[in-house]
Structure 1
């Protein structure tokens, strides 16, 4: 009898945990993804992705159990220079015809201070998947005064080496830095 009660209680707890999870989607009007690379060791070039989607699934209000996924359309790369953007879309870099997306899927999250986390996951770029660690800050959760719906804010930052992904391998570090800084900031609402 005890075993039956314990099994029933465990099943109920598991079911409650599943139903308590909430899916959050980025608000595209209030979210952005940028990257920065150094050119000729003397100047930085910034770029963005105009077309991307991010999802966070969490059961805890502090997002300490968050699962994060992100997909960007590589053809949406924008550095405010048409010629450079065309080159970035070519086989020399993103090769958008062959690799139309870049993506990130988290594998774990660990606390790193109040509202701060180390977000570990797999980044897929240029057909190569590698583990990476990003810093994530939960900026807070509020009730949006206009929509009256919950809104949560996040910022994710980190640095990757493009050589790890075979990205732009024709261009060595004297031309372009191996390290690329990434930053994503966004407002998320609960998925309906």
Structure 2
């Protein structure tokens, strides 16, 4: 679909993933993902320079391969999925390598910067034009009121404040 000289691209969820990584007790890394998400892009051309990206993920779809931990992450100690069912991102700028935008978690919006690898555009065997991106950035979870923490008897912090976001995204030209 093209509107006012812009092309719309929709997420291909079967070829995309949204993950986060956080240190546990400062000695290992736990990976989580969101199983339900939506995203789209509006671009003037296939270079995607200055394209507008938007993304949302359903908090209830969080998966860290541990149901007790997932339940805790959905609680008010972290995301409060009942009151804030989604997180969202809207880009403000994209120069082909760096994307700056507003990330909203709970009811807090902060500007974040993501390093982006644009992997190009290709036509699949079914004639669909697709574009691929890999994005990564770091945020402080406490900036978004995800402030629960505990300390072990030995004095180790259970959950790091620093969270890495990793998105591998494929979009389909509409």
Per the TM superposition, whether the score is higher than 0.5 is yes
Q: How far apart are residue 18 of structure 1 and its match?
A: 5.4
Map of 1:66 onto structure 2: 51
CA distance in 2, matches of 1:137, 1:58: 16
Q: Deviating runs (4+, > 6 A) in structure 1?
A: none
Partner of residue 123, structure 2: 143
Give the structure 1 partner of residue 113 of structure 2.
Answer: 133
Distance in 2, matches of 1:85 and 1:170, equals 14
State yes or no: 1:184 paired with 2:164.
no
- Please identify which structure carries the higher helix content: 1
Aligned counterpart, 2:153: none
Q: Secondary structure at the match of 1:61?
A: coil
Number of the residue aligned with 1:95:
80
Helix, strand or coil at the partner of 1:185 = strand
Cα displacement string for residues 22-45 of structure 1 (whole angstroms, at most 9, x for unaligned residues): 010111110000000001111110
Matched, 1:170 2:138: no
TM-score using structure 2 length: 0.92
CA RMSD of aligned residues (A): 1.5
For structure 2, the 5+ residue unaligned runs are 151-155
Is 1:118 matched with 2:103?
A: no
Instruction: For residue 104 of structure 1, report the CA deviation from its aligned partner.
Output: 0.3
